[in-house]
Structure 1
Amino acid sequence: MTSELRTEHLYYEDTYLFECTAKVLHISEADADAGTQIVVTDRTVMHPQGGGQPSDVGTIASKDGSCVFEVSHVQKTARDSEYVQHVGKYRPDSVGSFGDDPVIISINEERRRLNARLHSAGHLLDSAFEKIGWTQDQLVPNKGYHFPDGPYVEYTGNIPPEERGKVIEQLNDSSNALVKMDIPVSVAKDEKGGRIVNVGGTKCPCGGTHVKSTGEIGCIRATKITKKKKIIRVSYVVE
């Protein structure tokens, strides 16, 4: 049944859409021991975990507020999956379950805003490297981890140990100059319909949430550069 389900991904259209109405399509058990369930809806503002970005959290509630499902995790079963799974539990005081009536999906706004800033900051570092002369031929973007507990971006390439301190200083100056320029963040589609995000001048395929302009990121600070085999990791924070 789930293979036939479709969820409209509203978070692609507006990072700052924090609430929507939806129709519940399917409810199933997630983990019997933990008492969690999965709710699938026809549309959602909740971004699933993936692409280096943590999932949103929040609630799905009946319009009268009598039934509230607390969402602790959001996921897709596969990258190309057409439906989104909201994982969580009903509040103890909830009455009944969801029926055919519309529900209200609400996300934790503070968490979404932070996730978007961290994700956009990771992309901005790509542009900052270009500005200080490190092209994508020298440092090929590999992956990013945009979680609050220690975000980083990785590249295939090398920055010699003796140059890393200077590069961090240059990178911080360059990235924060791009922040001050308050450049609009653009999202376009490639020939296959995929999303191409441009943060500060460098384009990258991405399915995550982003700020509207670089000025919303705030201060970016690269904290260290490390290397393992052929991979350079740049750790950073936003302040």
Structure 2
Amino acid sequence: MAAVSGEVPIKSFSTIHLYYDDTYQFSCRGNVLGIYETQFNGEERSIVVLDQTVMHPQGGGQSTDIGTISSPDGNIKFEVSHVQKPRDTNYIEHIGTFTTDERLIVGQEVTVEINSGRRCTNARIHSAGHLLDSAFINLGITNLVPSKGYHFPDGPYVEYIGDIPAEKREEVINLLNIESERLIKESIGVVVSVNERNEREVNVGGVSCMCGGTHVKNTAEIKGLKVSKIKKSKKNVRVSYTVL
């Protein structure tokens, strides 16, 4: 059930999440379900909802995709600066601005294109964070429970419930870097599956966890990972890293 332009979309909207199937699909066709106006970060913006999209919304510790939504002839263009999935819904909101006088309308077919460089960077950073889980287990450090991750380019990290004694942290950093390098060189395939509870799981380097993010095809595509710091963060231990 599609709303007319200007109406707030209802929860019956549904967007097919094409980014679940292929990290490296950078474009797709879609149809407009709804268009409406909003305030985003204190500025007037438009939101476009489609029946399917390759754009990954911000969330789960991963930064938003950006890109464009255009009419097939290119005469209408919408610059997407942020993508989000409202809580308890199944539709994706593309937030941005029209750069042409003419605007899209409900029911219109469109072409969606993402910034491929940003997508690949996000995937490498996110997969690198998961690879650390495998590195810890392979090193025999099994007392840490993954808690949350921040897989943004500006200072990614993973937090674990538990602790690493301060006097051991430099040694663990060195061991993690050695083990991560080994896992990357082995080019281990990244496996995405759906469990019996219909939850999406991602296995990077041999360890699985629930995840809705975009990931590389194999560990070699991470290219390089360097753990830079381990510190206490409230009740957790935070492991900061960069991709090389």
1:66 correspondence with 2:75: yes
Q: Name the structure 2 match of 1:56.
A: 65
Residue 186, structure 1, aligned to residue 195, structure 2: no
Counterpart among 148, 153, 158 of residue 153 in structure 2: 148
Query: What fraction of aligned residue pairs are identical, expressed as a percent?
Result: 54
1:34 maps onto 2:39 in alignment: no
Q: CA deviation at 1:99?
A: 4.7
Letter in 2 for 1:83: Y
- Please give the alpha-carbon distance, in whole angstroms, between the structure 1 residues aligned to 2:60 and 2:155: 15
| Paired residue total | 235
Q: Which moved more, 1:189-198 or 1:213-222?
A: 189-198
Query: What is the identity, as a one-letter code, of the residue corresponding to 1:107?
Result: I
The equivalences for 1:84-123 within 5 A come to 84-91=92-99, 93-123=100-130
Give the corresponding residue for 1:82: 90
Q: Aligned partner of 2:55: which letter?
A: M
**Distance between the aligned counterparts of 1:26 and 1:101, measured in 2?**
10
Q: In structure 2, list runs of 5 or more residues that go unmatched.
A: 1-8
CA contact (8 A) 1:62 1:98 kept: no
Aligned to 2:239: 234
Q: What amino acid maps onto 1:45 in structure 2?
A: V
- Give the TM-score, by structure 2 length: 0.94
Match of 1:46 in 2: 55
**Letter of the aligned partner of 1:40 in structure 2?**
V
CA contact (8 A) 1:54 1:115 kept: yes
Kept in 2: contact 1:225–1:234 (CA 8 A):
yes
SS at match of 2:188: coil
Q: Give the secondary-structure state (helix, strand or coil) at the position aligned to 1:133.
A: coil
Q: Within 2, Cα distance between the matches of 1:195 and 1:71?
A: 26
Per-residue CA shift, 1:74-93, capped at 9, x if unaligned? 00111x420000000000x3
**Equivalent of residue 13 in structure 1, options 21, 24, 29:** 21
Runs (5+) with no aligned partner, structure 1: none
2-structure distance, mates of 1:88, 1:228: 35
Task: Specify the code of the residue in structure 1 equivalent to 2:69.
Answer: I
**Residue 30 of structure 1, CA deviation:** 1.4
Contact map agreement 2:187 2:220 (CA 8 A) in 1 = yes
Measure, in 2, the Cα distance between the counterparts of 1:27 and 1:99: 7
Q: What does residue 138 of structure 2 align with?
A: 131
Q: What residue in structure 2 maps to residue 225 of structure 1?
A: 230
Between the aligned partners of 1:228 and 1:96, the Cα distance in structure 2 is: 47
Aligned residue for 1:237, secondary structure, equals strand
Q: d(CA) in 2 for partners of 1:19 and 1:220?
A: 28
Q: Is the 8 A contact 1:70 1:89 kept in 2?
A: yes
| AA partner of residue 97 (structure 2) | K
Aligned-partner Cα distance in 1 for 2:33–2:197: 28
Task: Tell me if structure 2 keeps the 8 A contact 1:22–1:103.
Answer: yes
Distance in 2, Cα, partners of 1:237 & 1:156: 21
TM-fit CA distance, 1:19: 0.1
Once the 2 structures are TM-superposed, how far is the Cα of residue 233 of structure 1 from its aligned partner? 0.1
Q: Conserved in 2, the CA contact under 8 Å of 1:66 and 1:94?
A: no
Match of 2:6 in 1: none
**In the alignment, is the contact (CA less than 8 A) between 2:31 and 2:108 conserved in 1?**
yes
- CA-atom RMSD in angstroms: 1.2
